[in-house]
A and B are shown apart, each in its own frame.
Chain A
Amino acid sequence: MSIAITLATMRRILAQLRHDHRTLALLIGVPALLMILLRYVFDQPMVFDRIGPMLLGLFPFTVMFVVTSVATLRERTSGTLERLMTMPLGRLDLLLGYALAFGVIALVQVGVVLLISLTWLGLDLSGSLGSLVLVAVLDALLGMSLGLFASAFARTEFQAVQFMPAFVLPQLLLCGLIIPRDDMATWLQVISDVLPLSYAVEGMQEISTRTDFTPTLALDVAVIAAFTVVALLLGAVTLRRRTA
């Protein structure tokens, strides 16, 4: 593993995105648009204050999942991964390069949505801005690492895109956003307990209702980070130097 190679990889991924204006516009614009829609669909500041932050964690997660799974699949199918595997690049260099690049993108994405939410849409946040950004970026990295891992099981971009509903929608139903987790049947709660998005949403709930950095929030952050690291390591296992 080498810092120079990791940083070169990050710069390369950002350069790719810079050339792809439409993807960049979608990455930044879609979450902002959804947030604006959400604000006026409910049209009740109280409801928006409660649900807004949860969605702030959800957008980067979903978007990064899709973008990363397609990006890494492309890397596998275009032969560039094989080429890199003949070079002195460690698997972690590649994964961390992706993590850093998409972390930067997530920061910009969350920054824009936050700016719009706090000014124009009048979002009222109880907790600190810093912890909200922290959880949102962690969610983005979680989506990225799951996307990386999922891409190993896709052979085509069609399949990779289908993984989004498969990985994300069940989590969305069970994470407590639609129905509070306490109101679910026990077996659903158990499943919900082992899905990372539940912690992402719980973390955001804490930030939107509490002013201090609660122990629950600390636990949520730790769980999301742990899931991210495990998914990245599993992703590393799926990057093989030798293939058939």
Chain B
Amino acid sequence: MRDLRVVRGGREVLHGITCDVPRGSVVGLLGPSGCGKTTLMRALVGVQIVKGGTVTVLGEPAGSPGLRRRVGYATQTPAVYADLTVAENLRYFGAVLGAPRTDVDRVIDEVGLGTSRDQVTATLSGGQLSRANLAVALLGTPEVLVLDEPTVGLDPVLRQELWELFRGLAEQGRTLVVSSHVMDEAGRTDRLLLMREGRILADGTPDGLRSRTGTSDLEQAFLHLIAEKAGSPT
């Protein structure tokens, strides 16, 4: 990602973002609501009109036809058909992706939705719905997964399970970009991008950020970085 600038609603929301994401790692995108996380992710999957800069994914410009099977994307607000069952949704998106039929059961299992498999998604709880949404992104074998707040509203056990799933995917060589506004999830990533007001505030490993700021808590580290930024003339 090189000098990415995005204007939404007449206002520049990303002010020249430059960063790299190494393959086979889990990268956390953290920052408060409205800091540009979703816009950044939309640019990564190639559905965002960008003002300037370049975004390259797996060696191709973001959104190229060649990437559409290789990049999985889960939006923050669940994008599934409310009037279809979980399995019907997955069958359809699977067919569009050309994924094997057995994928439907695999991803239902991965997100732990076995009991609501044949439930119409409109009747799912918020947490179940966001898992159904995540399941769509896991269909096929995407090399890059862009997940916008996948663990919002989930109970701690389930969150733990999903993070283990993300870890397992990264160990298979997949690359994950996961956004969150919950700081305690940040510690589970290989690399953290802290964002605020359309800029990247810090980029490093969770441990690196802790030691750099001299705090044990990432929330404190974030506050420390904001104060540091405000204090410096740049």
Using a CB–CB cutoff of 8 Å, the interface residues on chain A facing chain B are 4-5, 8-9, 11-12, 15-16, 19-20, 78-80, 82-89, 241-244
Among A11, A80, A243, which residue has its beta carbon within 8 angstroms of that of B81?
Answer: A80
| Residue numbers in B under 8 Å from A242 (CB-CB) | 46-49, 63
Q: Given A78-B82, A83-B93, A241-B46, 20 more contacts at CB 8 Å?
A: A8-B92, A8-B95, A12-B81, A12-B84, A16-B81, A19-B84, A19-B120, A78-B81, A79-B79, A80-B79, A82-B75, A85-B47, A86-B73, A87-B93, A87-B96, A87-B97, A88-B65, A242-B48, A242-B49, A244-B7
Residue B136 is within 8 A (CB to CB) of chain A in the complex: yes
Give the interface SS of chain A, mostly helix, strand, loop or mixed.
helix
Residue B68 is within 8 A (CB to CB) of chain A in the complex: yes
Residues A79 and B84 in contact in the complex (CB < 8 Å), given A86-B46, A87-B97, A88-B97 = no
Residue B161 is within 8 A (CB to CB) of chain A in the complex: no
| Residue numbers in B under 8 Å from A86 (CB-CB) | 45-47, 63, 68, 71, 73
In the complex the two chains form, is B80's CB within 8 Å of A80's CB?
yes
Determine the distance from Cα of A19 to Cα of B96 in the docked complex, in whole angstroms.
21
24 contacts between A and B (CB under 8 A): A8-B92, A15-B92, A19-B83, A19-B120, A20-B83, A78-B79, A78-B81, A79-B75, A80-B81, A82-B75, A83-B93, A86-B45, A86-B47, A86-B71, A87-B68, A87-B96, A87-B97, A88-B65, A88-B69, A88-B98, A241-B63, A242-B46, A243-B49, A244-B48
Determine the distance from Cα of A20 to Cα of B85 in the docked complex, in whole angstroms.
12
In the complex the two chains form, is A88's CB within 8 Å of B48's CB?
no
| Residue numbers in A under 8 Å from B8 (CB-CB) | 244
Residue B77 is within 8 A (CB to CB) of chain A in the complex: yes
Using a CB–CB cutoff of 8 Å, the interface residues on chain B facing chain A are 7-9, 45-49, 63, 65, 68-69, 71, 73, 75, 77-84, 88, 92-93, 95-98, 120, 136
| Residue numbers in A under 8 Å from B75 (CB-CB) | 79, 82-83
A74 CB, nearest partner CB in chain B, Å: 9
| Residue numbers in B under 8 Å from A85 (CB-CB) | 47
Determine the distance from Cα of A8 to Cα of B93 in the docked complex, in whole angstroms.
9
Determine the distance from Cα of A80 to Cα of B136 in the docked complex, in whole angstroms.
11
Determine the distance from Cα of A8 to Cα of B80 in the docked complex, in whole angstroms.
15
| Residue numbers in A under 8 Å from B98 (CB-CB) | 4, 88
Determine the distance from Cα of A213 to Cα of B171 in the docked complex, in whole angstroms.
67
Among B69, B71, B77, B120, which residue has its beta carbon within 8 angstroms of that of A79?
Answer: B77
B71 CB, nearest partner CB in chain A, Å: 7
In the complex the two chains form, is B84's CB within 8 Å of A16's CB?
yes
| Residue numbers in B under 8 Å from A78 (CB-CB) | 79, 81-82
Q: Which of A16, A19, A83, A244 counts the most chain B CB atoms within 10 A? A: A83
Residues A5 and B47 in contact in the complex (CB < 8 Å), given A12-B81, A20-B83 = no
